[in-house]
Amino acid sequence: MNDQPTNIINDDEIDLRELAQTILRHKGKLTLFVIIITLLSVVWSLSKPNIYHSQVVLVPQEKSKSLGALGGLGALAGVAGVDIGDGEMQPDQAFTLYADDYSWMRKFLVETKLFEKLNSATADQNYRFAAGYDGFYRMFSFSSDARLDNATPIEREKILFETYQRLRANLVIESDKKTSVITIGYSDPDPVLAKEVVEQFLTYASRSLREYELRDMDKKIAYYSDELHKSDDLSLKTQLSQLMSAVIQKKVLAQSSDLYNVKIVVQPSVAYERDKEGPKRGLIVVVSMVTSLIVGIFAIFMIEFIRTPNREENQ
């Protein structure tokens, strides 16, 4: 009975030895496979331009204290559908809603000419590469501008949607709930374009939000003014006057700034050439090498497993 465990151990040792011998028999092919995959990953990583990030840091503007000093008028304003300061949508929420809305982003891309810039044949003129070599990139690149020139309306709309998806994937809008600091950032191989996208998005979104807010306030002011002239109740006229005054103050504040309820703390800038965000070429090559080694060993075992029954049949 004591011989059985020994046999099992010996069998395990023989199996491990056979596995090692199988790998050694195909070590030349395995090494060649790993080298080829590793070289391909090197070429691929070198064909990718550096990625740069630009961002603007914002803080919400302080609201006028007089807007919140209306006491019981808050309930009356709520019934009338008037927002006099409380419950306002935060700027980061508004920016995110716009960024996720394709119809708005489509208009943004077209009117700011960013659609053409992102797909221009010269869009890569500011790209930077590892060791300054762009040969591999030129080998695999094609002209996006030619696609736009020859595109039908349906194809152009498809390219426009693809551009939106690419821009949205690289556009980051974050808010720190503790400090209320808002960050809008964009990553792109062109550091100049990354800065421009951040500036254009902030300006265009602020303008859209301000225009919407001003139109809404004009309607409310006109409505309160009309009701004020109709009413004979002195108390109601006083309340309506205070409500209209609050809305007018909000309008003045909205018109006093080009931005929507925010102030710029850190301006967006063109990233320094060495301050790249990606790609992590070293990591890509190491992962490719390890993965190819694992896949190669697995392939060897599979081939040997398939060949073994055939050998037994021939014998």
Q: What's the average model confidence in pLDDT over 14-35? A: 84
DSSP string computed for 49-112: PPBEEEEEEEEEPPPPGGGG--TTHHHHHHHHT--SBTBPPPHHHHHHHHHH-HHHHHHHHHHT
Structural domain tally of the chain?
2
Q: What is the pLDDT of residue 82?
A: 47
Residue bearing the bigger pLDDT, 68 or 48: 48
Q: Is 132 left (phi over 0), alpha (psi -120 to 50) or beta?
A: left
Q: Are residues 179 and 234 in the same domain?
A: yes
Residues 109, 187: one domain?
A: yes
123 plus 152 within the same structural domain: yes
The answer to whether residues 80 and 203 belong to one domain is yes
* 32 falls within a domain: yes
CATH number for the domain harbouring residue 53: 3.30.1890
Q: What digits encode the pLDDT tens for the residues 190-215? A: 999 999 999 999 999 999 888 888 88
What's the whole-model pTM score?
0.75
Compute the mean pLDDT over every residue in the chain, rounded to the nearest whole number: 81
Whether the predicted pLDDT of 92 surpasses 60: yes
28-45 residue pLDDT tens: 999 999 999 999 999 999
CB 182 within 8 Å of CB 58: yes
Same domain (yes/no): 129, 220: yes
Mean pLDDT value across residues 65-73: 45
Asked if 26 and 101 sit in the same domain, the reply is no
Is residue 185 domain-resident? yes
Q: What are phi and psi of 151, to 5 degrees?
A: -80, 140
Is residue 271 in some structural domain? no
Q: Are residues 248 and 101 in the same domain?
A: yes
User: Are 174 and 188 contained in the same domain?
Assistant: yes
Task: Evaluate whether 206 touches 259 at the Cβ level (below 8 Å).
Answer: yes
- Residue 273 is assigned to a structural domain of this protein: no
pLDDT at 273 over 90: no
Number of residues that make up the chain? 315
Q: Are 50 and 128 in contact (CB under 8 A)?
A: yes
Band of the pLDDT at 23, cuts 50, 70, 90?
confident
Q: Is residue 77 part of a domain?
A: yes
Do 179 and 108 reside in the same domain of the chain?
Answer: yes
Q: How far apart are CA 44 and CA 284, in angstroms?
A: 9
Mean pLDDT across 254-282: 86
185 and 257 belong to one structural domain: yes
Is 299 among the domain residues? yes
Residue 272, domain member (yes or no): no
Confidence of residue 243 (pLDDT cuts 50, 70, 90): confident
Residue 310 pLDDT more than 80?
A: no
Mean pLDDT comparison of 82-96, 136-150, 251-265, 285-299, highest-scoring range: 285-299
Looking at the structure, do residues 193 and 310 belong to the same domain, yes or no?
A: no
72 has pLDDT over 90 = no
pLDDT at 63: 57
Residues 71 and 204 in one domain: yes
Q: Which domain holds residue 32?
A: 3-46+279-314
Q: Where are the alpha helices (DSSP H) in the chain?
A: 3-25, 27-47, 73-80, 91-100, 102-111, 114-118, 135-140, 144-149, 153-170, 191-230, 234-255, 281-314
Is position 250 within any domain? yes
